[in-house]
Amino acid sequence: MPDLCFMPAHQLQSKLLAKDISARELLETFIAQTQKHNPSINALVTLNLESARQQAIEADQQLAQHGKAVGPLHGLPIAVKDVFATRGLRTTLGNEHFAKHIPTQDDLVVAREKAAGAIILGKSNTPDCASGGITNNTIFGLTRNPWNLEKTTSGSGGGGVASLMSGMVCMADGSDIGGSLRSPAAWSNCVGFRPSSGRIPGPPGSLADGNTSTAGAFTRCVKDTALFMQACDGPDLRSATPYPAGQEITVTALDRLPLGVKAAWSADFAQRNMEPEISTQFEAHSSLFEGCGLTLSSTELNLGSEYRQLYSDFNAYSYVKGLPTQVVNDCLQGKPVKPSIQTNVDHYMSMSAKQIFNMFRAREILRVNTQVYMQDHAVIITPAHNCFAYGATDTVGQDLCDWSAFYLAPLLGLPSIVVPCGFTEDGMPHGVMITGRRGEDLLVLQIAAAFERNTGYGQQRPKLPLE
């Protein structure tokens, strides 16, 4: 039943609750798909088969004995990013220090997934300490893109998105500090959502503490994103990031798009050097957004002359706070470390008190400018990437890619989503990004769902090896 492996999670949920299929049967279907395709794609790096089978049995028993689901993710096989601690299951961060690390507790997002009834099939690959736009590390190796094995999945959520798009799981979590959910989604023809900071809390000093990085999800469609958020959204006293005000996210609310929404329409947001084909493709979709009831505005947000520098400074500041002590010490002692990690640590260590003061002041100014601007513009719509998907190991292409459009959301804690927006001439998927006001996650999802309904791009799937 391989078609089940590509069915949206909310439809699988309906089948499970109607008892058309059991959680155990569904899991075995996904396991078979994993065993068939994971060797060539390398998306899941630590499998959890014995525990997953037990979880599926318990989900079936709960439904049989009590007539109700465990929770919103009842019986759904998922992948957990290998930066999130999973009790009793190896969690490596893609770093040699943790190659055999087995946590004794779950991270909060994982605990919520389990409580909602999700079945963790395995851990998804990530770059060393989630650093970089290519999903590769010295423990597990390179993750390849199911659409083209010679192309990148991007980073740092490449394992999660590849496991989803090759049919190994029906959704995957991830984290996003500068595009790690949204960038891979754009080049994989799926949905990548980073919620408002604080909606899925993380403890201070973690790689998804809500300061710039936050947990989120890869899904096949926006309804599945809402389903994931119903399971994982909520405040927690262990988080230093305040829970945002805003409407509750539910699957049933997605069809209720408010009238009179004004959206900023920006083909070259942050003055990126855009590939002409991508700009043309983006502009061709303006009428579809207008058909959803949006009014498009070409008035640009003033990001300020130091926007890129601000993100570079703040990313180093926040990223190093979340790095394990062992990795920081390696950097300080001159031991071999991934260059992008070393660069962030060096950047952080070189900052003076005055530079840090100026960084926080610049962030406050950007926040105020954006708040004022977004009083008139409910969302900002822009192409996800300025360039085509580069090669699976193309570090030059990675460095030439302009990531700046992804920066606004983590800097200010805004909700931001990427949804499929067609294919470029090289046959690779591309995405459109919608970023909203803090706390207005539901509106962002409603707009994304309306666009998704009018295009149907996300229904296309890759032709996998061996098929």
CA of 158: how far to CAs of 146, 306, 353, in Å?
11, 30, 36
> What per-residue confidence (pLDDT) applies to 207?
82
pLDDT given at position 455: 96
**What pLDDT is stored for residue 239 in this prediction?**
93
H-helix or E-strand containing 193? strand 191-194
Give the single-character DSSP code of 243.
Answer: P
Q: What is the pLDDT of residues 18-36, one digit of tens each?
A: 999 999 999 999 999 999 9
Helix (H) / strand (E) element for 136: namely: strand 136-137
What the chain holds in terms of domains, given with CATH numbers, is: 2-242+254-306+356-459 (3.90.1300.10)
d(C-alpha 21, C-alpha 226), whole Å: 23
What integer pLDDT is reported at residue 2 of this predicted model? 58
Q: Residue 293 to residues 202, 255, 290, 440, 445: CA-CA distances in angstroms?
A: 36, 12, 5, 18, 14
Low-confidence ranges of the chain (pLDDT < 50): none
Rounded distance, CA 290 to CA 135, Å? 36
Q: With contact defined as beta carbons under 8 Å apart, do 330 and 337 qualify?
A: yes
pLDDT in tens, 111-157: 999 999 999 999 999 999 999 999 999 999 999 999 999 999 999 99
C-alpha–C-alpha distance, residues 373 and 367, integer Å: 10
Q: Which residue stretches of 21-137 are H helix? A: 23-41, 49-66, 108-115
